[in-house]
Chains A and B, each alone.
Chain A
Amino acid sequence: MTVALFVYLLVSNIIIPALFISILCCLSIYILCGNELNIREMRKYFCLSIIVGSALYTGSYAITLPILSVLTIVWIRNENKQKTIIILIIYSVYFLNAIYIFVYSFCDATISNSSLKYILIEFLIMLIIISVILVFTKKFFKYKLGRDISAAQLRFIMILIIIVPLTICISAISIITFWDIIVNKKIEYVIGNVIPQIIPLTSLIFACVVVYNQDKSSEYRVRLNCEAQEKREIEEYSHVIEDMYAETRRFKHDYMNMLSPLKEYIDNNDMKGLKEFFYNNVIDMDKEIKWSGSNIDKLKHIKFVGLKAILSAKIIKATSMNIDIKVDIIEDIDYVDMKVMDLCRIVGILMDNAIEAAIECEYPKLKVCVVNKNDYVVLVVHNNFFGNKPLIHKIFIEGFSTKGSARGLGLYTVKNIIDTRYDNVFLNTAIEDRMFIQELWVKYEDA
């Protein structure tokens, strides 16, 4: 085989069909999840589907399955449901195409090699089929996604998704064996072209569906855990508030008792006694009361429950460790434009770090402040620290910690979350006057 022929075959048998199907894939992706995509992403998906197509059209089990498996693993290595759906769509389109080839092989007996004309016809027919299917799926999905799917329905869908392709696959094989006696050429064609596509695709579609549902359920689980945690924290917060209220009531009760002797002194015109009593008992009255966590009431301004929960938990923790804590919140904070879970993780890490650093000092100090500034919400944590000034660029490195190994994941995680998921969140770090300062600026995206 000459090089020219090889290239010709490569282009006509692998690249061009893959190119056409890739166009279909992108069309489907655009229609099914179009409102969230941009051109750059689209180009990525197009390349992905070309690679999938090229691997499939080689028609060899030995090449197809390993390549596709590796591709799938790499593609959905992160828990990203969107990506799983994308690759699922691509596989489904190729699967539909394989079915089409299968059906087509029975209509036209004279297919020996696929010419460009044939590919073009295939493309046009597939375009029609896929558009029809897309319209139906879209309607179906809209209807479905409107409400939560119950577990029973999920199971039903899972079984359906797995059974239908498998049935098609098996019936294909049985039909071939049945036709065995009649046309030999067709069987060769089907075995050569369709089966090597259908079998890897079916197995990969299974895998993707399972992964998708697994991701979904684990996401539910995480969210549930997070909510339970939040609830515990809010409960703790309400306990502290109740204690403060009880303290206030006791004070109210006490102070009437303590003021009534004043009347005696005044009635008797006993200025000296009054003076003595006043300075000894009355003036220091509120010092006797522990205004425990008197700062925590400032959290009333925070209307964003997740943030309130995590802040209160950390403030209670800091107070219990005898840290001099000051909370500066002067206005209502309604919303922070981040995923609650990410926000909680970041705030939790920042507060934990601040507490850990401050507790080493003789007079541990911690200041927390949340303000709205134009279209930003600014969350600030100040703390003092003991010993040498930490090098700022080092604290963000994975594994760095001033307190031995296996601890320094905190700030690295924070930076990682912000840098990979949010373009509206900014983290500023500074050391000023022996205070360590972390500022989290979160912009409202659609303001």
Chain B
Amino acid sequence: MLQVIICEDNSVHREKLKMLIENTILREQLDLKVELSTGNPDDVISYVENNKITGIYFLDVDLKNNTNGIRLGEKIREMDSLGFIIFTTTHLEMSYLAFKYKIEAMDYVIKDDEDFKQRVNGCILKAYNTYYRDKHTEDSIIIKEDTRIIKIKLGDIFFIETTGVAHKIRVHEENRQLEFYGNLKDLQEKLTANFYRCHKSYIVNREKIQEIDKKNNKIIMINGEECYVSFRYMRGLLT
């Protein structure tokens, strides 16, 4: 169950934000509730600790407390790996990228900005949709390395290959290439049937194949990228 949690030390801003969110929920008829609205980060931590939840968090960057927004975000991320964290701030000069990579923050909103309302609306809807879409359709896999969580949409994958270094694999997509620890065998167990192990070091998505070059044992993907198919697995690919 998705919940909204607000942590903002300025009570005026807090009430305003809460009202905004509740309005959005009413208007869009979302299955969502603001469960906690507080100025004290410790309340948030103990709440998340006691209730295993997935939340949409609105956190103020500068809390007048020992725990600032970043530390709070980090702690939340440890407990709620799939939650959506949105930072609120008054600075224009916000180090958003650092937040994004450090705690996988979803977005940030600037409190005094004119489009504050729209941004908050957008964030809520985006988080809500992402959460329910991911939950109901099985079209993405989540790879949990001990400290990294990687989400990949199956439909985006072209092929997966091993790299020159042991235990490192690389996923090729149209607009992305990403690498992580793992091995093809374990990964293939998570994949659907349209993924085919066509080579010792390749798994290919059948849907993305443009043509098969039998002479050179190559598969040409729809974006022109090539991967290899071994003779042994060629037959399985053609059927």
Q: Is A328 an interface residue (CB 8 A)?
A: yes
Q: Is A33 an interface residue (CB 8 A)?
A: no
When distances are taken between beta carbons in the complex, the residues of chain A under 8 Å from B178 are 426, 428-430
When distances are taken between beta carbons in the complex, the residues of chain B under 8 Å from A329 are 95, 98
When distances are taken between beta carbons in the complex, the residues of chain A under 8 Å from B180 are 426
A329 to B99, CA, bound (A): 9
Q: How many residues of B contact A (CB 8 A)?
A: 28
A72 to B78, CA, bound (A): 53
Q: Are B102 and A431 in touch, CB under 8 angstroms?
A: no
A75 to B96, CA, bound (A): 49
When distances are taken between beta carbons in the complex, the residues of chain A under 8 Å from B97 are 326, 328, 367, 369, 380, 382
B168: nearest chain-A partner, CB-CB: A423
Q: Are A373 and B179 in touch, CB under 8 angstroms?
A: no
User: In the complex, which of the residues B164, B176, B225 contacts A429, with contact meaning CB atoms closer than 8 Å?
Assistant: B176
Q: Is B223 an interface residue (CB 8 A)?
A: yes
Q: Is A432 an interface residue (CB 8 A)?
A: yes
Q: Are A369 and B223 in touch, CB under 8 angstroms?
A: no
When distances are taken between beta carbons in the complex, the residues of chain A under 8 Å from B164 are 419-420
User: In the complex, which of the residues A326, A371, A430 contacts B175, with contact meaning CB atoms closer than 8 Å?
Assistant: A430
A328 to B61, CA, bound (A): 15
Q: Is A158 an interface residue (CB 8 A)?
A: no
State which residues 429-447 of A face B: CB under 8 Å. Answer: 429-432, 439, 441
Q: Is A391 an interface residue (CB 8 A)?
A: yes
User: In the complex, which of the residues A326, A372, A375, A419 contacts B102, with contact meaning CB atoms closer than 8 Å?
Assistant: A372
Interface string of B166-185 (1 = CB under 8 A from A): 11100010111111100000
A376 to B224, CA, bound (A): 33
When distances are taken between beta carbons in the complex, the residues of chain B under 8 Å from A331 are 98, 102
Q: Is B163 an interface residue (CB 8 A)?
A: yes
A422: nearest chain-B partner, CB-CB: B165
A431 to B156, CA, bound (A): 13
A427 to B164, CA, bound (A): 13
A98 CB, nearest partner CB in chain B, Å? 38
A431 to B100, CA, bound (A): 16
Q: Is A163 an interface residue (CB 8 A)?
A: no
A437: nearest chain-B partner, CB-CB: B176
Q: Is A393 an interface residue (CB 8 A)?
A: yes
A129 CB, nearest partner CB in chain B, Å? 38
When distances are taken between beta carbons in the complex, the residues of chain A under 8 Å from B163 are 419
A371: nearest chain-B partner, CB-CB: B102
Q: Is A392 an interface residue (CB 8 A)?
A: yes
Q: Are A426 and B168 in touch, CB under 8 angstroms?
A: yes
When distances are taken between beta carbons in the complex, the residues of chain A under 8 Å from B135 are none
Q: Are A373 and B177 in touch, CB under 8 angstroms?
A: no
Q: Are B179 and A426 in touch, CB under 8 angstroms?
A: yes
Q: Is A307 an interface residue (CB 8 A)?
A: no
Known contacts A426-B179, A430-B175, A431-B176; is-contact A419 B98 (Cβ 8 Å): no
A112 to B79, CA, bound (A): 79
Interface string of B117-160 (1 = CB under 8 A from A): 00000000000000000000000000000011000000000000
Q: Are B177 and A428 in touch, CB under 8 angstroms?
A: yes
Known contacts A374-B147, A392-B177, A393-B223; is-contact A423 B166 (Cβ 8 Å): yes
When distances are taken between beta carbons in the complex, the residues of chain B under 8 Å from A391 are 223-225
Q: Is A378 an interface residue (CB 8 A)?
A: yes
Q: Are A393 and B98 in touch, CB under 8 angstroms?
A: no
Q: Is A161 an interface residue (CB 8 A)?
A: no
When distances are taken between beta carbons in the complex, the residues of chain A under 8 Å from B167 are 423
A396 to B101, CA, bound (A): 24
Known contacts A420-B164, A423-B166; is-contact A428 B176 (Cβ 8 Å): yes
Q: Are B102 and A373 in touch, CB under 8 angstroms?
A: yes
Q: Is B70 an interface residue (CB 8 A)?
A: yes
Interface string of B208-229 (1 = CB under 8 A from A): 0000000000000001110000
Q: Are B225 and A393 in touch, CB under 8 angstroms?
A: yes
User: In the complex, which of the residues A326, A392, A427 contacts B179, with contact meaning CB atoms closer than 8 Å?
Assistant: A427
Q: Are B147 and A371 in touch, CB under 8 angstroms?
A: no
Q: Is A330 an interface residue (CB 8 A)?
A: yes
Q: Are B98 and A369 in touch, CB under 8 angstroms?
A: yes
A378 to B179, CA, bound (A): 13
Q: Are B175 and A428 in touch, CB under 8 angstroms?
A: no
User: In the complex, which of the residues B95, B166, B223 contacts A330, with contact meaning CB atoms closer than 8 Å?
Assistant: B95
Q: Are B70 and A330 in touch, CB under 8 angstroms?
A: yes
Known contacts A382-B97, A423-B165; is-contact A374 B179 (Cβ 8 Å): no
Q: Are A373 and B168 in touch, CB under 8 angstroms?
A: no
Interface string of B87-101 (1 = CB under 8 A from A): 000000001111111
Q: Are B98 and A330 in touch, CB under 8 angstroms?
A: yes
Q: Are B95 and A432 in touch, CB under 8 angstroms?
A: no
A102 to B159, CA, bound (A): 60
**Best-surrounded residue of B70, B179, B224, B225 (most CB of chain A within 10 A):** B179
A426 to B143, CA, bound (A): 15
User: In the complex, which of the residues A375, A427, A439 contacts B147, with contact meaning CB atoms closer than 8 Å?
Assistant: A375
When distances are taken between beta carbons in the complex, the residues of chain A under 8 Å from B99 are 330
B70: nearest chain-A partner, CB-CB: A330
B225 CB, nearest partner CB in chain A, Å? 4
A334 CB, nearest partner CB in chain B, Å? 15
A73 to B175, CA, bound (A): 42
A370 to B224, CA, bound (A): 33
Known contacts A328-B96, A374-B147; is-contact A392 B101 (Cβ 8 Å): no
Q: Could you list 22 A-B pairs, sorted by A, with CB under 8 Å?
A: A328-B96, A328-B98, A329-B98, A330-B102, A331-B102, A369-B98, A372-B102, A391-B225, A392-B174, A392-B176, A393-B224, A393-B225, A418-B165, A422-B165, A423-B165, A423-B168, A428-B176, A428-B178, A428-B179, A429-B176, A431-B176, A441-B179
- Top-10 shortest CB links A-B: A374-B147, A369-B97, A419-B164, A426-B179, A328-B98, A328-B95, A430-B176, A423-B165, A393-B225, A328-B97
9 more CB-based (< 8 A) A-B contacts, given A389-B175, A431-B175 = A326-B97, A331-B98, A378-B102, A380-B97, A391-B223, A392-B172, A392-B175, A423-B167, A430-B176
